[in-house]
């Protein structure tokens, strides 16, 4: 309950001060999913934590070089960062955008492939709910998770609570997410569309945020892209093109 009131206060202050309406994109925080003792999904020797970090560093470099925007990373090496700390990093740095980069998997079918970009919101399908539960379960790896979180990460009520927190930035988040998926399509990738789910990592951030699932390690087509430098660079370029378009629109 205390965390709910804390975030509610932050969002109320943000709107009252005009923070939510500012348009200049000065700082972007990029979050490479998983890390350290949390490998994420895997296929053979390929681990999500390593692929996500590699793509994240490529995205950050392009943003700095091509857009001249300050980039802050939640991690730049293979370390474990608690989910609540990732959002706090974005808040402390007064980020204008929060971008999470992940890799997907489907244990039931190797035929499913393509990218998906999520925003915070109510679960539209059972598949989205299961993905959010799987990612949020990382909380249980944290030493003091009962102290850091005032809810059961597997509770449906918790996911609904989380969804309500991000409503203030939903429009901007959906706008950016749709641009990312459009650029993936233009680069020749299959897009599985923009979706909504209750990801803990987006919960406490006070800015527009998106959660990018760059592809499926369980699919041979996606795996070839995700596991190579050229493929990762292509993914990074598509993300940055989307950010460029979003930035140009926001700053008009």
Tell me the pLDDT tens digit for each residue of 116-175: 999 987 554 455 456 556 655 555 565 665 555 555 555 666 555 555 555 668 889 999
The model's pTM is: 0.78
Tell me the pLDDT tens digit for each residue of 15-46: 443 344 456 999 999 999 999 999 999 999 99
Rg of the chain in Å (alpha carbons): 17
Give the confidence band of 206 by pLDDT, cuts at 50, 70, 90. confident
What's the mean pLDDT in 44-55?
Answer: 98
pLDDT exceeds cutoff 80 at 65: yes
Which domains are present in the chain? 2-250 (3.40.630.40)
| Confidence (pLDDT) at 140 | 55
Q: Which two tokens stand for residue 9?
A: 């206060």
Is residue 33 a contact partner of residue 82, using CB atoms and an 8 Å limit?
no
Task: Round to whole Å and give the CA distance between 28 and 208.
Answer: 10
What's the mean pLDDT in 96-110?
Answer: 97
Give the range among 27-36, 91-100, 199-208 with minimum mean pLDDT: 199-208
What is the three-state SS of 54-96?
HHHHHHHHHHHHHHCCEEEECCCCCCCCCHHHHHHHHHHCCCC
Is residue 209 a contact partner of residue 74, using CB atoms and an 8 Å limit?
no
Is residue 189 a contact partner of residue 114, using CB atoms and an 8 Å limit?
yes
The per-residue DSSP string of 234-249 comes to HHHHHHHHHHHHHHHH
DSSP state of 38: B
What number of other Cβ atoms are within 10 A of residue 35's Cβ?
Answer: 24
């Amino acid at each position: 309950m205390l965390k709910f009131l804390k975030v509610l206060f932050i969002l109320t202050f943000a709107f009252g001060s005009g923070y939510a309406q500012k348009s200049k994109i000065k700082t972007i925080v990029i979050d490479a999913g998983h890390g350290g003792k949390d490998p994420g999904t895997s296929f053979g020797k390929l681990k999500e934590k390593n692929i996500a970090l590699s793509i994240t560093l490529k995205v950050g470099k392009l943003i700095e070089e091509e857009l001249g925007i300050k980039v802050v990373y939640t991690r730049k090496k293979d370390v474990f960062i608690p989910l609540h700390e990732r959002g706090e990093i974005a808040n402390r740095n007064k980020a204008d955008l929060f971008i999470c980069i992940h890799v997907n998997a489907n244990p039931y079918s190797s035929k499913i492939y393509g990218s998906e970009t999520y925003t915070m919101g109510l679960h539209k399908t059972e598949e989205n709910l299961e993905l959010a539960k799987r990612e949020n379960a990382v909380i249980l790896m944290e030493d003091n998770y009962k102290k850091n979180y005032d809810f059961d990460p597997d509770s449906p009520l918790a996911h609904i609570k989380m969804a309500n927190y991000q409503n203030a930035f939903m429009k901007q988040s959906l706008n950016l997410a749709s641009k990312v998926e459009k650029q993936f399509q233009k680069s020749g990738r299959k897009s599985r569309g923009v979706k909504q789910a209750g990801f803990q990592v987006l919960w406490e951030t006070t800015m527009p945020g998106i959660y990018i699932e760059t592809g499926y390690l369980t699919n041979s087509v996606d795996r070839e892209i995700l596991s190579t430098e050229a493929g990762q660079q292509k993914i990074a370029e598509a993300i940055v093109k989307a950010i460029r378009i979003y930035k140009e629109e926001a700053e008009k």
